[in-house]
Amino acid sequence: MVFVKIEEQNIDALYHQEESGSGNRLPASIREWKQKAENILQKEAFEYIARGSGEEATLRSNRKAFNNWQISHRVLRNVSNRELSISLFGKRISSPLLLAPIGVQTIAHPEGELASARAAADMDIPFITSTAATYSMEEIANEMGDSPRWFQLYNSNNDRVTESMVKRAEACGYSAIVVTVDTPVLGHREFDLQNSYSPLKEGKGNGNYISDPAFCEMLEKSPRKDMKAAIQKQMELFENPSLTWEDIEKIRKYSKLPILLKGIVDPEDAKIALNYVDGLIVSNHGGRQLDHGIASLDALEKICQVIQGEIPVLFDSGIRRGTDVLKAIALGASAVLLGRPFMYGLATGGEAGVKRVIQQIQKELDVSMALSGVRSINEIDSSLLVRQR
Ligand code: FNR
């Protein structure tokens, strides 16, 4: 892998063309970041990140859904001061963005989650550590000081391992638990099958397992002595198709942290969830799980109608531009998660690449707010949107 050196410079340089002609211009769109990542990464790693399940109908729908909404901008409202920060679970963050939980990040860059967590900390937005991270949640927390971080849980089919992971997360400063519920089994990912590629089987997603006392107790030999057996055991625990709402109640007993469910797209599920959790993430896993599923943005609107502001509703799957963030917030999201875009930044330039991608989306959001006539995130509401016929 040959990484691109990204100079420390203000994102505004891109807008003022300070770099024009130098051949070292920053990418101006997520599409460009993606191209750079494709040039750098091994084909199978790039496809693992970029591709979707099945025939990628959901992946495409996620993007198309944004085109169904147009912004009816307002004018003459003095937009010289704009405020992007929001409050989420009682904490102020710099903008309505979080980094989505993405496992196995060392397939994009050797520093993996350590680099992206530092970038999130630097930009003052929460980092969500995946259960399937390459590095352990403690190693990642160590990079972040007091910066906000949440832990994403794949509720394993062993309660003791689940309990242990949740307690470890609370102990090392994670301030929310995100339970991903759209993965009872792994989606049908044709590109990975064609490439015979599984980073989990290669041991790139086991940082939280091999450091877990409850997990290690289940092994005959320590992971250091027999990594193959450890990976095998992780694979056995990973999928949990028997999960029900009662399991969510159990997690509540392990920790005092707020719990969010990630992967909700159906309004009926959202209604039930109100009895169990403190927040929702409307998501279809970026089109990596059920193919031909509803576009995440289409689900968002209906779910916000059911939730009526009782708990925060976050959103992901398809965010590529500042206007996407604005539309999701106008439809009722409190904040959005950036997924693949930051992985392209990570692949291209490690920590600096992730920072650039975050800055780019923030800058685009800021520009879109000014052009729409809004001065703060609170002012973004559905009156700004018109549904295209
Ligand atoms: C993911 N996602 C994911 N979600 C999760 O809850 N735990 C995980 O470990 C992972 N791992 C993961 C790996 C890769 C390579 C990708 C691309 C995605 C899903 C992720 O959190 C988020 O829902 C999607 O990335 C959102 O879609 P877009 O915006 O990236 O298209």
Our measurement of the distance from residue 370's CA atom to the centroid of its chain's CA atoms, rounded to an integer in Å, reads 26
Q: Is the CB of 316 under 6 A from ligand 1?
A: yes
What's the CA-to-centroid distance between 304 and ligand 1, angstroms? 22
Which residues in the chain show pLDDT less than 50?
9, 16-20
Residue 103 Cβ < 6 Å to ligand 1: yes
Give 194: exposed, middle or buried? Use CB within 10 Å, 0-12, 13-18, 19+. exposed
Tell me the C-alpha to C-alpha distance, in Å, between residue 284 and each of 52, 59, 330: 11, 9, 20
pLDDT of residue 23: 59
DSSP state of 276: T
pTM over 0.75: yes
231 lines ligand 1 (CB under 6 A): no
Beta carbon of 180 within 6 Å of any ligand 1 atom? yes
Give the tens place of pLDDT for each residue, 170-205: 999 999 999 999 999 999 999 999 999 999 999 999
| Ligand 1, atom 25, residue with closest C-alpha | 339
Least Cα distance to 199 among 129, 291, 105, 100 occurs for: 105
- State in Å: Cα 229 to ligand 1 middle: 26
- Which residues carry out catalysis? 285
Q: What atom in ligand 1 is closest to the CA of residue 103?
A: 9
Q: Where are the beta strands (DSSP E) in 157-312?
A: 177-180, 259-264, 279-282
User: 79 C-alpha vs ligand 1 centroid, how far in Å?
Assistant: 35
Give pLDDT tens digits for 99-137: 999 999 999 999 999 999 999 999 999 999 999 999 999
Would the CB of 30 count as within 6 Å of ligand 1? no
What pLDDT does 25 receive?
Answer: 83
Give strand pairing partners of 93: 86
Residue nearest to atom 15 of ligand 1 (CA): 49
Neighbours of 146 (CB within 10 A): 7
If 0-12 CB within 10 Å is exposed, 13-18 middle and 19+ buried, where does residue 1 land?
exposed
State residue 5's pLDDT score: 66
Distance in Å, CA 100 to ligand 1 centroid? 6
